Structure 1
Amino acid sequence: MLEGIRVVELATYIAAPAAAGIMADWGAEVIKVEPLQGDAIRGMLKNVSAANVEGNPIFDMDNRGKRGLAIDLRNDKGAEALRKLVLSADVFITNVRPGGLARAGLDWETLRKEKPELIYASVTGYGLEGEDQDRPGFDMAAFWARSGVASLTAPKGTDPFPLRVGLGDHTTGMATLNGILGALFDRTRTGKGRLIEASLLRTGIYSIASDMAIQLRYGRVASTKSRELAVNALNNFFQCACGTWLCLLTRHSGDIFGPIAAALGKPELAKEERFLSAKSRRENAAELVHILDAEFAKYDIAEWGRRLDEHDVVWAPVQTPAQVADDTQAQAAGAFVDIPDHAGGTGRSVASPVRLPNDDGTTEDRVRGPAPGIGEHTAEILKEIGYDDAGVEALKAAGAIN
């Protein structure tokens, strides 16, 4: 779908590489630019894991199908070569802070004068304006903590807890991609590129937009309650006899409790005065949860799934990552792919978030190759933008490339 689009990615860690990674899955040519020592996330698992692990599935996930160039941006000759490369691209994605980009002549204002059709995607922690524009912002800080997501997610009275690796980054990556695709479409009409400004903070706030809209309108928002104090006790989690937790959800109109009570084999529950309305169920939430706990503890989740399906009740099992990996519906939805490695093998990984089916039964969203080694394609890429063998050797001699 994106064949013919060249993307240059000057970025580290996850958020910006995730956006470029999806574009690579969709057929774009993506060149990953790293410092000479490589993207810091290449060593993440070895730095945080006590186990002696092989490979890095976190890096491979977001960098498969890209070509790799390693260059010293602080070296004048290296910065010059990188500028030539960026000016050959349709899209430039970066999470380098604005000051460093300006020193290398890679800021938006400089590049737009030389190539007005360039689409420039900036991914930062806090945006490109304001007093914190240069503040470093990982997703746990900017997306999770400062945005309000962490405080809203933790049930009232409990301590904040960390989010999982890359959750805010991948959400921000998808947001960045949306902006890039919109700009590519806009360019077909105007011939001009534009600046795309994505930030972990803004994406985090958007991820809780429904609650924030209430906060902004009324000046307050309800906290997240414990199971026993839930605003709607029926929208909750219940443990089955097999130990698996079940997520139960109600619809927003019609008979809310009736189908659930019927699935439980207790239709009379829905007719009791204390559970008859949303208000009375809220006033008696703890009692209702206690009753439902006792009922769901009688059978395993397979039996409850059958009963709830019979009455068209919305539910889902609370699965572990190991269970998700074996989930046949996740497989049917195209959630997993195999990534080739440099040894000729493959490793299972996560697919990009949208399936793009072709008429012939194939899909446009697919892995185009392994993640690159550090600077694996440096000489090849430099020659594509006009350097000959002597020029490449001169960059090596100057310390701009390895």
Structure 2
Amino acid sequence: MLEGLRVIEYATYMAAPGAGSILSDWGAEVIKVEPPGGDPIRKFFRTLGTDIQDNPVFDFDNRGKKSIAIDTRTDEGNAILRELAETADVFLTNVRPGGLARSGLDYDSLKEANPKLVYCSLTGYGLDGPDADKPGFDIASFWARSGLAHTTIPKGGEPFPCRTAYGDHTTSIAAAAGICAGLVEASRTGKGRLVEASLLRTALFTVGSDFAIQLFFGRLGSTKARHKQTVPIMNFFKTSDDHWLCIVARQGESDWGPICKTIGREDLIDDERFNTAKGRRANSVDCVDILDAGFGSMTKEEAARRLDENSIAWSPVQTLAEAAADPQVKAAGGIVQVPSSAGDGSSFASPASPVRFPGADDGPKGPAPGYGQHTRDVLLSLGKDESEIDQLLGSGVVASGAMESA
């Protein structure tokens, strides 16, 4: 879908590279500009004391890209990055806005040479306000600052962290969508624009239904334990073989009778304690106890059959290991094969991009690049000759994978 478009990714860590990964899967040429020593996520497993050829965390966010290593702190390196931006359709960065402005790599500076440039800034807190230049990480900017961490704590509990890059990759999706909207406008008008994505704003949209309630009413109900749910049949129940099930109750009273039939308690269908939403809420502890006993008397397989027979919306509460083996995950295209960077023709399973284009090549276009693997090729594409490239390599302005491995 994006074949023929060039993206310059001047970013490290996960949120912006995740957006670049999506664009690469969709066909764009993504050139990753790495600092001396490389993106710190290259060392993710080395930090844990594991030395492996393929790094599934780095590879997930960087598959199919080209890597050029540039020391942009030097005048020559800065000039090369500017040259790359002049050739680009998209410039994607997570560098803080103050640093970009000081180095002449902000949108206003780059659009002068490339008016059609779609420039995506992905930050922790946005481009304006007192915290615009603060460092942003998803556990802080997305999870904690937005209210998400507090909202998800059951009443009386303590904060807990989000999983690795959870907020980063949610923001990756938002940034990729914004970039595509900018590209549509640029194709129509011939003018690019600044696209601003932030961990904070994406988090507020992610928790948008609760945030809308907070903004409208000025208050929000707390996250409650299972026995104190406002809608006790919208809940989690454990089977006799220790599997948790998520039961979804639709609006109104339509699901109470079928749930009673599912657990073999038809006698409760007309019980005044439970046959209205108000009654179930007032008697939530007793309601959950009864449902616990009902589902606890069945295996997961039996409960699944009965829930389906009674047209109840439900899902198993799966581990990631179970999700990896789930035939529906496979059918939905949720897992793709990424070529190994070992170059031996092997591949490994990795999460797919979030959107599928049936009939199109919407998967990984190659392995994650080695550090500076494409430095020479990218510089050649800018019209630089071999002697000039050798001089840049020798001075340390740029680096190549060959020199790194040596």
With structure 1 as the length reference, what TM-score do the two structures score? Answer: 0.97
Q: Which residue of 1 aligns with 2:38?
A: 38
Which deviates more from structure 2 when the two are superposed, residues 248-257 or residues 57-66?
248-257
Which whole-Å CA distance do the structure 1 matches of 2:214 and 2:225 have between them?
21
Partners of 1:52 and 1:79 lie apart in 2 by: 33
**Superposed CA offset, 1:271-305 (max 9, x none):** 11111211111111111111111111111111101
SS state of the match for residue 275, structure 1?
coil
Shift of 1:397: 3.0
Q: For residues 166-190 of structure 1, give each alpha carbon's deviation from its aligned partner in whole angstroms, at most 9, with x where no partner exists.
A: 1100100000011111111111221
Q: Percent identity?
A: 51
Counterpart position of 1:19: 19
Q: In the superposition, relative to structure 1, how do residues 50 and 382 fare at CA in structure 2: closer, same or farther (>3 Å)?
A: closer
1:20 is matched by which residue type in structure 2?
Answer: G
Q: Which amino acid in structure 2 is aligned with residue 285 of structure 1?
A: S
The answer for the alignment partner of 2:375 in structure 1 is 378
- Alpha-carbon distance change, 342 to 44 in structure 1, aligned in 2, over 3 angstroms: closer
Partners in 2 of 1:336 and 1:364 — Cα distance?
14
1:81-113 deviation per Cα after TM superposition (whole angstroms, max 9, x unaligned): 111011100000000111222233211111112
- After TM superposition, list the pairs within 5 Å mapping 1:257-272 onto structure 2: 257-272=256-271
1:16-165 equivalence runs, <5 A: 16-47=16-47, 49=48, 55-165=54-164
CA distance in 2, matches of 1:366, 1:213: 36
Q: Distance in 2 between matches of 1:2 and 1:379?
A: 24
The answer for the alignment partner of 1:208 in structure 2 is 207
Tell me which moved more, 98-107 or 226-235: 98-107
* Paired amino acid for 1:274: R
Residue identity matched to 2:174: A
Give how far 1:44 is off. Answer: 1.5
- Deviation for aligned residue 1:357: 1.0
Which residue of 2 is the match for residue 364 of structure 1? 361
Give yes or no for contact 1:228–1:289 (8 Å, CA) kept in 2: yes
Q: Distance in 2 between the 1:108 and 1:308 partners?
A: 54
Instruction: Tell me how far apart the structure 2 counterparts of residues 305 and 213 of structure 1 sit (CA, whole Å).
Output: 35
How far is the alpha carbon of 1:270 from its aligned partner? 2.6
CA change 1:113–1:38 in 2 (3 A) is: same
Residue 56 of structure 1 deviates from its aligned partner by 1.4
Deviations 1:131-164 (A, max 9, x none): 0001001000000000011111111111010000
User: Is structure 2 residue 398 aligned with structure 1 residue 401?
Assistant: yes
Equivalent residues of 1:112, 1:118 under 8 A apart: yes
Q: For the residues of structure 1 that align with 2:11 and 2:311, how far apart are their CA atoms?
A: 47
**Contact between 1:36 and 1:375, CA under 8 Å: does it hold in 2?**
no
Secondary structure at 1:271 match in 2: coil
| Structure 1, unaligned runs of 5 or more | none
Distance 2:9 2:268 in 1: 58
2:294 maps to what in 1?
295
Match of 1:126, SS state, is: coil
Q: Distance in 2 between matches of 1:374 and 1:224?
A: 45
Q: Distance in 2 between matches of 1:242 and 1:45?
A: 36
Give 1:118 shift: 0.2
Shift of 1:11: 0.5
SS at match of 2:348: strand
Aligned position for 1:392: 389
1-side partners of 2:50 and 2:188: how far apart? 53
Find the counterpart in structure 2 of residue 221 from structure 1: 220
- AA at the equivalent of 2:238: Q
State whether residues 45 and 51 of structure 2, in contact with CA within 8 Å, keep that contact through their aligned partners in structure 1.
no
**Residue identity matched to 1:355:** R
Matched residues in 2 for 1:270 and 1:45: separation? 55
| 1: CA distance, partners of 2:255 / 2:80 | 64
Q: Which amino acid aligns with 2:27?
A: G
Structure 2: how far apart are the matches of 1:112 and 1:51?
43
TM-score by length of 2: 0.96
> What is the deviation of 1:51?
5.4
Q: Counterpart of 2:404?
A: none
Q: Give the CA deviation at 1:347.
A: 1.0
User: CA shift at 1:254, angstroms?
Assistant: 4.8
Matches of 2:216 and 2:370, distance apart in 1: 50
What's the RMSD between the two structures over aligned residues? 1.2
2:311 counterpart letter in structure 1: D
Q: Is the 8 A contact 2:252 2:277 kept in 1?
A: no
Q: Distance in 2 between matches of 1:143 and 1:312?
A: 37
Partner of 2:170: 171
Q: Secondary structure at the match of 1:273?
A: coil
Asked if 1:354 corresponds to 2:355, the answer is: yes
The structural deviation recorded for 1:199 is 0.3
Distance 1:40 1:252 in 2: 48
Q: The residue matched to 1:348 in structure 2 has which SS?
A: strand
Pair 1:368–1:54, CA change in 2 (3 A)? closer
